[in-house]
Amino acid sequence: MPAGPTPHRHAAASRASTPHAVTPGALFQLVRDGHADSRAGLARATGLARSTVSQRVDELLLAGLLVERGDGPSTGGRPPTRLAFDSHGGVVLCADLGATHCRLAVSDLDASILAERPDEMDIANGPDVVLPWAQERFADLLHEVGRSPAEVRGIGVGLPGPVEFAAGRAVNPPIMPGWDGVSVPEAFAARYPGVPVLVDNDVNVMAIGEYWTSWRHDVDDLLFVKVATGIGCGIVSRGALHRGADGTAGDLGHVQVPDAGDALCRCGNRGCVEAVASGGALARRLTAAGIDAHDSRDVVALVRAGNVEASTLVRQAGRLVGEVLAGAVNFFNPAVIVLGGDLAHAHEQFFAGVREIVYRRSTALATQHLQVARSRLDDRAGVIGCAVTVIEDVLSPAAIDAGLAAHAAQEATA
Ligand SMILES: [Zn+2]
């Protein structure tokens, strides 16, 4: 049975089928999604009168959200104009902050990265050091691409710990001393007044980056699994990130696996998959065996150098992660599992180990269409996910309508 289109993916179009609900924001969404590129096309898609469409399109043109381009398909005579979303009409600042590494970037409004910079940075230095440092890097990047702070439409930040998304702050993050309860948006408010700052867990932003870039047109349900120093999972359900009641959904690292023995986990429990199969766990086991390794990157370097012990451990880790994912597949029935993080790319056998166990241990129905893929964005998944998180927020139909209404109110009182 072919999978039919699901309702949410065409939410803009179905909203648009009821003329009274067709706000300028809804028309903008139709153009941005590629469903229409002319006033006539918008009138056809929505059932609105041409005059009403023209009036709303004029508002969007005036606000700089849409532009007219003289390159429509020619029918002879004057070249027709085409309506297009102006992805250069602003920029987004993106900060993917890891435990010891980070990547900062400037993107345009379709999440294309204009400039980026990977860096060493210790999150344990605390927010009073890390956030001002990030502001300086952002200023450098804006200068590099020739854009001004006034053009910043939003700021996206990924943090390596649990995050209360609505408030933009980390909550009891185990590896981030000094960050508990600190409001990240407040730190940016002075230099970027009124600019939305969206903060999320680093694995969630990676999941959204991968989904938006490679999968959103084809699938609705995806798991992104990061296996690096720790193990975490971002859940995309019906095309949107699923954070759970308290923002901790996808904390896969602390699921027990029968073959994990009684290894003590940093969460205080024993037998968690993270305690035996993460890059950190493998580094500790190699060190105990007299092989120098401090973190997941060292493990990867050993595998690439042909170290037999490291290769064997990575193969076993793939099967252990596969055991946990087999349960997740039965529970959630994703269309795709994307594997990212250092270990996912360290060794073909890690990937093969995950696949082998997932397909063997999950039910036949859950795996008949399941794809297991590697991350396509790798180290850039986080910054692209930060950009997408911001763009989907500030360019949503509701946000566009609110912005136009506020502008109209300002005009009226001027
Ligand atoms: Zn644990």
| Share of residues in the chain with pLDDT > 90 (%) | 74
Does 51 have pLDDT greater than 60? yes
Mean pLDDT of 131-146: 97
The whole-angstrom separation of Cα 51 and Cα 218 is: 35
Mean pLDDT of 296-316: 92
Q: What share of the chain is helix, strand, coil (3-state, %, to 5)?
A: 50, 20, 35
Indicate the helix (H) or strand (E) that contains 159.
Answer: strand 152-159
Say which amino acid occupies 30: L
In contact, 362 and 326? CB cutoff 8 Å: yes
Question: Ligand 1 mean position to 230 CA, how many Å?
Answer: 10
Which pLDDT value is given to residue 179?
96
H-helix segments, 279-395: 279-288, 296-304, 308-332, 348-361, 364-367, 381-394
Report pLDDT digits (tens) over 102-132. Answer: 999 999 999 999 999 999 999 999 999 999 9
Which pLDDT value is given to residue 11?
41
Report pLDDT digits (tens) over 214-238. Answer: 999 999 999 999 998 889 999 999 9
Which pLDDT value is given to residue 360?
92
The whole-angstrom separation of Cα 139 and Cα 304 is: 37
Which pLDDT value is given to residue 12?
42
Which pLDDT value is given to residue 347?
75
Question: Ligand 1 mean position to 232 CA, how many Å?
Answer: 11
Question: Ligand 1 mean position to 273 CA, how many Å?
Answer: 7
Residue 245 pLDDT grade (very low, low, confident, very high; cuts 50, 70, 90): confident
Mean pLDDT over each residue of the chain, to the nearest integer: 90
Which pLDDT value is given to residue 75?
63
The whole-angstrom separation of Cα 387 and Cα 401 is: 21
Does 15 have pLDDT greater than 80? no
Q: Name the 3-class secondary structure at 368.
A: coil
Question: Ligand 1 mean position to 301 CA, how many Å?
Answer: 25
Question: Ligand 1 mean position to 302 CA, how many Å?
Answer: 25
Report pLDDT digits (tens) over 203-217. Answer: 999 999 999 999 999
Tell me the C-alpha to C-alpha distance, in Å, between residue 26 and each of 20, 40, 382, 394: 11, 15, 28, 13
| Residue 37 in tokens | 């590129």
Among the listed residues 282, 99, 276, the one whose alpha carbon sits nearest the alpha carbon of residue 201? 99
| Residue 313 in tokens | 């451990």
Residue with tokens 């694995």: 203
The whole-angstrom separation of Cα 335 and Cα 356 is: 17
Question: Ligand 1 mean position to 276 CA, how many Å?
Answer: 10
Highest mean pLDDT among 17-21, 149-153, 349-353: 149-153
Is the pTM higher than 0.85? The answer reads: yes
On the CB side of 334, CA atoms within 13 Å amount to 29
Question: Ligand 1 mean position to 11 CA, how many Å?
Answer: 39
Which pLDDT value is given to residue 14?
44
On the CB side of 211, CA atoms within 13 Å amount to 33
Question: Ligand 1 mean position to 255 CA, how many Å?
Answer: 7
